[in-house]
Amino acid sequence: MSKEQGKLVANNKKAYFDFFIDEKYEAGLVLHGTEVKSLRMGKCSIKEAFIRIEKGEAFIYGMNISPYEKGNIFNKDPLRIRKLLFHKSEINKLAGKLAEKGYTLVPLQVYFKDGKAKMEVGLARGKKLYDKRQDIAKKDQRREAQKEFKIKNL
């Protein structure tokens, strides 16, 4: 996501470690007033979240938006199920892909774009343990190369 798109609220780095992301989609979030204020303060977590498509609509489960301190009685349940806004054609395409074995929808990041709360959603396939080991090995190699490069340039 580039800087001109808006303010990043939450990022799900674990999704890139646990899944192969095949396609990315942008969805709007249906929120209540105090939830938006809490999001603007950056109080959101999507680490445990997942997305389901039910009756032609997309919903996100397990997304935690902390209650707004000054919200008192207007605060909603932090873990409530929230609706995602997709185009009908996108929902139909995603539902078809999810019917295939091994595909799932994972939230990648939450951000504000033109004053509206948006979520980047990835169509993903789960990684096996050996895939994760390869990723860790690549990261270690990159880190070692950077360390050697620093030492040589001192």
Which amino acid, one-letter code, is at 31?
L
Query: Whose structure tokens read 């880190």?
Result: 143
Question: Which residue has 């199920």 as its token pair?
Answer: 81
pLDDT in tens, 29-42: 888 778 888 888 88
Alpha-carbon distance values, 102 to 22, 46, 58 (Å): 12, 21, 18
Give the tokens for residue 84: 């995602």
- pLDDT(3) > 50: no
Give the mean pLDDT of the chain.
82
One-letter amino acid for residue 131 of the chain? D
- The predicted-structure confidence for 44-86, as pLDDT tens digits, reads as follows 888 888 888 888 888 989 888 888 777 666 666 667 888 888 8
- The residue ranking higher by pLDDT, 129 or 104, is 104
pLDDT at 74: 63
What is the identity of the amino acid at 109? Q
Locate 38 and state its tokens.
């809490």
Task: Identify the three-state secondary structure at position 152.
Answer: helix
pTM as predicted: 0.72
